[in-house]
Structure 1
Amino acid sequence: MDLRILPLAVTMMAGPQIVAAVILVTTARPVRVCLAFLLGVAAATTAGVALALGLCGLLGQAVPQGSPADPGSAASVVQLVLVGLLALVAVKNVVRRRTVEPPKWLGSLMEAGPRKALTTGFLIILFMPSDIVVMLTVGVNLEQHEAGLAAAVPFIAATVLIAALPLLLYLLLGERARRAMPRLREWLTTHSWVINVAACLIFIVLILTP
């Protein structure tokens, strides 16, 4: 797998995903709940990449994937389409920034237990449109390099590590983190559009970087 794919792990957790991770740190049993969430994230990322790799393998038999360096390849066409879609999403978030509201299910996580955290971690990755795009991109990259699922382990680990950052800060900083997390939660909830725009821009840069 191309190491340039690794930064896509940032976009995997950008948006409601990282907000959910922060909210879970502020629950009554943060360590157990967050560990369950991370397990869900790891399982969903592994399953999603495996499905994407399998799909790309099937499509590759009918449509040559080409090389990332080949501007006429099918992969490059897909990349340009993704750039256009991401640019539209970024503009939409900026235009609607004053009216965008966080998903209602985020508020329910305040009382989440390990089971709900596990389910949330799994679903928020496997069915989030932006994450589906990222995992398909990883699948295409693996197929182009004729690599198996094992080659995606660094990407999966990086995604889980980013998801674990709120918990790690909570464990390392102690009381300071306990005081800061609720404020961070509120800021992320009210400024979710900033995170979404940043994720789109990061993704665009990574796609266009030769």
Structure 2
Amino acid sequence: MDLRILPLAFTMMVGPQIMSAIIFVTAPRAVRASLAFIAGIALATTAGVAIMRGVAALLGKAVDMGHTSDKGSAGHIMEYVLVGLLVFAAAKNWLGRRTAEPPKWLKSLMTAGPRKAFTVGVLLILLMPSDLVVLLTVGIHLQHHHANLGEALAFIGLTVLIAALPLLARLLFGRRAERAMPGVREWMNTHSWLISIIACGIFIALILSEG
């Protein structure tokens, strides 16, 4: 399994994604809704990686990716471009950190059932521009290193684990976790920009350090 792409799992789940997971564990049908949401995240992440791996393979046929040791290869240039997009997104979050507000649709999740929770999990991964950039980055990374989908299992697993953390906390700590969730949600809302920057920084460092 390719562990170099693991930091991007944190980038995948910051913002509305993890906030949705926290809201679901405080909803009336918390366990069922949360399990459905996690299933949606798992399906969408797996499908997204597979699709973007295919896109990267098509790009590889059109453009010679080059050897991984060649810093000027097309594969590395594509990775640098995608990293640049992640940096741009992180910079945008930094600049808008004082006025950032959660999407209004998050409030509707308090009454969501399992079907809606599953749909939200799928759409949050496959329709969020930032997550699409992350998935494409993963796909190109796998293609450039001649790795198959199995090499991304650690990335997929960590993304799903992060989505499941609020539910695991509720099951393990009960009412103490329920009381803490609103505060955690507020902290995530006001500091998601920082988490995103840290995750992007780690990934950039990994890319630049590859020989």
Query: What is the CA–CA distance in structure 1 between the aligned matches of 2:91 and 2:21, rounded to whole Å?
Result: 26
Name stretches of at least 5 consecutive residues in structure 2 with no aligned partner: none
Counting aligned pairs with the same residue, the percent is 62
Aligned match of 2:56: 56
Aligned match of 1:125: 125
1:160–1:71 CA distance, 2 compared to 1 (3 A):
same
Aligned match of 2:82: 82
Query: What is the CA–CA distance in structure 1 between the aligned matches of 2:124 and 2:3, rounded to whole Å?
Result: 25
Matches within 5 A, 1:4-19: 4-19=4-19
- Stretches of 4+ aligned residues off by more than 6 angstroms: none
TM-score normalized by structure 1? 0.90
Shift of 1:171: 0.8
Query: What is the CA–CA distance in structure 2 between the aligned matches of 1:87 and 1:110, rounded to whole Å?
Result: 33
1:110–1:5 CA distance, 2 compared to 1 (3 A):
same
1:175–1:181 CA distance, 2 compared to 1 (3 A):
same
| Residues 145-196 of structure 1: per-residue CA shift (max 9 Å, x gap) | 3333233222211111111111111111112101101221233234443344
Contact 2:10–2:196, Cα closer than 8 Å, also in 1:
no
1:148–1:91 CA distance, 2 compared to 1 (3 A):
closer
Shift of 1:202: 3.7
Query: What is the CA–CA distance in structure 2 between the aligned matches of 1:149 and 1:97, rounded to whole Å?
Result: 35
Shift of 1:109: 1.0
1:171–1:25 CA distance, 2 compared to 1 (3 A):
same
Query: What is the CA–CA distance in structure 2 between the aligned matches of 1:108 and 1:207, rounded to whole Å?
Result: 39
Report how many aligned residue pairs link the two structures: 210
The residue type paired with residue 130 of structure 2 is S
Task: Please report the RMSD computed on the Cα atoms of aligned residues, expressed in angstroms.
Answer: 1.9
Query: What is the CA–CA distance in structure 1 between the aligned matches of 2:112 and 2:189, rounded to whole Å?
Result: 17
Aligned match of 2:23: 23
Name stretches of at least 5 consecutive residues in structure 1 with no aligned partner: none
Asked whether 1:204 is paired with 2:204, we answer yes
Shift of 1:198: 3.6
Aligned match of 1:113: 113
Asked whether 1:159 is paired with 2:159, we answer yes
1:143–1:192 CA distance, 2 compared to 1 (3 A):
closer
Query: What is the CA–CA distance in structure 1 between the aligned matches of 2:65 and 2:206, rounded to whole Å?
Result: 19
TM-score normalized by structure 2? 0.90
Contact 1:16–1:192, Cα closer than 8 Å, also in 2:
no
Helix, strand or coil at the partner of 1:88: helix
Contact 1:34–1:167, Cα closer than 8 Å, also in 2:
yes
Query: What is the CA–CA distance in structure 1 between the aligned matches of 2:138 and 2:80, rounded to whole Å?
Result: 16
Query: What is the CA–CA distance in structure 2 between the aligned matches of 1:151 and 1:196, rounded to whole Å?
Result: 23
Shift of 1:122: 0.3
Contact 1:93–1:193, Cα closer than 8 Å, also in 2:
yes
Query: What is the CA–CA distance in structure 2 between the aligned matches of 1:67 and 1:174, rounded to whole Å?
Result: 51
Query: What is the CA–CA distance in structure 1 between the aligned matches of 2:96 and 2:7, rounded to whole Å?
Result: 27
